[in-house]
Amino acid sequence: MTVSLIDFRSDTVTRPTPAMLDAMFQARVGDDVYEEDPTVRALEEATAARFGLEAGLFCPSGTMTNQIAIKAHTEPLSEVICEQTSHIYLWEVGGIAFHSGASVALLPGNRGRVTAAQVEAAIRPVNVHYPTTSLISLENTHNRGGGSCYSLEEIASIAEVARRYQIPLHLDGARIFNALVATGQSALEYGRYFDTISVCLSKGLGAPVGSVLLGSRAFIQKCKRIRKVMGGGMRQAGFLAAAGLYALENNVERLADDHRRARQLAEALEAQAYVAEVLLVETNLVIFRLQDTMPAETFLARLQEQGILASSFGPQMIRFVTHLDIDDSMLEKTLTALHALAQ
Ligand SMILES: *Cc1c(COP(=O)(O)O)cnc(C)c1O
């Protein structure tokens, strides 16, 4: 008998469902580098409309949408303000230096979130010694911060600082739909506060590939050239865009189920003597620290024996991510395995 894996390593591991595959097979396509793919255009327009921004750009990954936005907003000798564990700094291979030749001003966040006062204090005075502050970038939900969410008040006050200093504001919204579902915030508010937003379709929304960068029409036109030089101009990409459209239409509200299962996991973990601390769970990420008596490798290996996968997330730190391919019976099996580990 083959045991199916219960894979909590990331929400990127989901496979397209038969209904999503069907939508992909039905897609009308053309050459998108010639701007002739109707399905890519539909995805870009539908995503932009949700956030009240003018235009969108379909790209292979969230790393590419973020790095294109940073490249288009900045120039060499300038600086990006971001949180010190943000994805754009920590997990995009140093791309800010590589693609943009820009510096970073790193802020220590509260579970990844920074304040307007911290941002304002990091803006450089204009003189010959300093890089010029060219971009402020936020991440919501914050990955390293355990899926934490900003309130709209926090975002509004950071946006006020950005406007006052005339510095563009970018959002790494790889998991923005998790934030919207968890908080009940409106996507249109985000379009009012941010100049550009990067949205991932391949995380909780369950599409196999793809991210969309949103912004003004003129900005996205500039970004199209940068996507091309990065090798991200795709041809009959409508087959992939169709999965994204299907995901936007069918897989947003259900994120609430992932959030409920993440809270159930966190409650079970908090009850275990071998767990030292569980970060507050707001969305679909569960990050916790093991007691020293339970080495992380032992914990992961014993779960793996039962077909359950999670990731190591720093010394004695573990991350579980709930997603479309984790159902209640898999969750029950995992809760039983977590209790059994105490024996
Ligand atoms: C996953 C992720 C991205 C983009 O990742 P890709 O694997 O390049 O699509 C960007 N930002 C955050 C916060 C992420 O979690």
- Domain of residue 91, CATH code: 3.40.640.10
- Domain boundary residue, one of 196, 228, 250: 250
Q: Are residues 183 and 43 in the same domain?
A: yes
Distance in Å, CA 1 to ligand 1 centroid: 35
What pLDDT was estimated at residue 1? 44
Q: Are residues 224 and 327 in the same domain?
A: no
Task: Tell which atom from ligand 1 comes closest to the C-alpha of 211.
Answer: 9
Task: Tell which atom from ligand 1 comes closest to the C-alpha of 60.
Answer: 9
Query: Mean pLDDT across the chain, nearest whole number?
Result: 97
Query: 60 lies in a domain?
Result: yes
Distance in Å, CA 62 to ligand 1 centroid: 5
Q: Kindly write down the DSSP assignment for every residue of 321-342, as one continuous string.
A: E--TT--HHHHHHHHHHHHHTT
Distance in Å, CA 199 to ligand 1 centroid: 9
Q: Name every residue whose Cβ is closer than 8 Å to that of residue 10 and which is 6 or more positions away in sequence.
A: 203, 311, 321, 323
Query: 259 lies in a domain?
Result: yes
Distance in Å, CA 174 to ligand 1 centroid: 6
Question: Which of 87, 198, 202, when mutated, tests ligand 1's pocket best, judged by the most ligand atoms within 8 Å of its CB?
Answer: 87
What pLDDT was estimated at residue 3? 58
Measured CA to CA, the distance from residue 219 to residue 206 in angstroms comes to 28
Measured CA to CA, the distance from residue 97 to residue 325 in angstroms comes to 36
- Domain boundary residue, one of 199, 215, 250: 250
Q: pLDDT tens across 153-177, in order? A: 999 999 999 999 999 999 999 999 9
Q: Name every residue whose Cβ is closer than 8 Å to that of residue 320 and which is 6 or more positions away in sequence.
A: 8, 262, 265, 285, 286, 310
Distance in Å, CA 142 to ligand 1 centroid: 10
Question: Which of 85, 200, 311, when mutated, tests ligand 1's pocket best, judged by the most ligand atoms within 8 Å of its CB?
Answer: 200
Distance in Å, CA 63 to ligand 1 centroid: 6
Task: Tell which atom from ligand 1 comes closest to the C-alpha of 203.
Answer: 1
Task: Tell which atom from ligand 1 comes closest to the C-alpha of 86.
Answer: 13
- Domain boundary residue, one of 203, 218, 250: 250
Nearest CA to ligand 1 atom 5: 62
Closest by Cα among 113, 116, 99 to 64: 99
Whether 87 contacts 80, CB under 8 Å: no
Query: 125 lies in a domain?
Result: yes
Q: Hey, how many other C-beta atoms are within 10 angstroms of the C-beta on 326?
A: 24
Q: Are residues 154 and 208 in the same domain?
A: yes
H or E element that contains 240: helix 238-250
Closest by Cα among 73, 75, 39, 74 to 56: 39
Distance in Å, CA 203 to ligand 1 centroid: 8
Query: 6 lies in a domain?
Result: no
Which CATH number belongs to the domain containing residue 296 in this structure?
3.90.1150.10
Q: Are residues 116 and 79 in the same domain?
A: yes
Q: Are residues 284 and 202 in the same domain?
A: no
HSE-up of 91 (CA within 13 Å, CB side)? 15
H or E element that contains 197: strand 196-200
Query: 7 lies in a domain?
Result: no
Whether 62 contacts 88, CB under 8 Å: no
Q: Are residues 211 and 169 in the same domain?
A: yes
Query: 5 lies in a domain?
Result: no
Distance in Å, CA 4 to ligand 1 centroid: 26
Q: Are residues 214 and 327 in the same domain?
A: no
Task: Tell which atom from ligand 1 comes closest to the C-alpha of 61.
Answer: 9
Measured CA to CA, the distance from residue 58 to residue 198 in angstroms comes to 10
What does the DSSP 8-state code read for residue 195?
S
Q: Are residues 39 and 148 in the same domain?
A: yes
In the structure, which protein residues have their CB atom closer than 6 angstroms to any atom of ligand 1?
61-63, 66, 87, 139, 143, 172, 174, 200, 202-203, 211
Count of domains for the chain: 2
Measured CA to CA, the distance from residue 102 to residue 98 in angstroms comes to 8
Q: Are residues 244 and 259 in the same domain?
A: no
Question: Which of 148, 203, 213, 311, when mutated, tests ligand 1's pocket best, judged by the most ligand atoms within 8 Å of its CB?
Answer: 203
Q: Is 288 helix (H, G, I), strand (E, B) or coil?
A: strand
Q: Which amino acid is at 93?
A: V
Distance in Å, CA 64 to ligand 1 centroid: 9
Alpha helices in 125-212 (DSSP H): 152-164, 176-183, 187-193
Q: Are residues 26 and 142 in the same domain?
A: yes
Tokens read off for 60: 């292979």
Query: 2 lies in a domain?
Result: no
Structural domain of 319: 254-340
Q: Are residues 228 and 278 in the same domain?
A: no
Closest by Cα among 322, 319, 60 to 201: 60
Q: Are residues 274 and 214 in the same domain?
A: no
Nearest CA to ligand 1 atom 6: 62
Which CA distances in Å does 342 have to 3, 222, 295, 302?
23, 56, 13, 11
Query: 224 lies in a domain?
Result: yes
Distance in Å, CA 66 to ligand 1 centroid: 9
Sequential pLDDT tens for the chain (343 residues): 455 899 999 999 999 999 999 999 999 999 999 999 999 999 999 999 999 999 999 999 999 999 999 999 999 999 999 999 999 999 999 999 999 999 999 999 999 999 999 999 999 999 999 999 999 999 999 999 999 999 999 999 999 999 999 999 999 999 999 999 999 999 999 999 999 999 999 999 999 999 999 999 999 999 999 999 999 999 999 999 999 999 999 999 999 999 999 999 999 999 999 999 999 999 999 999 999 999 999 999 999 999 999 999 989 999 999 999 999 999 999 999 999 998 7
What pLDDT was estimated at residue 248? 98
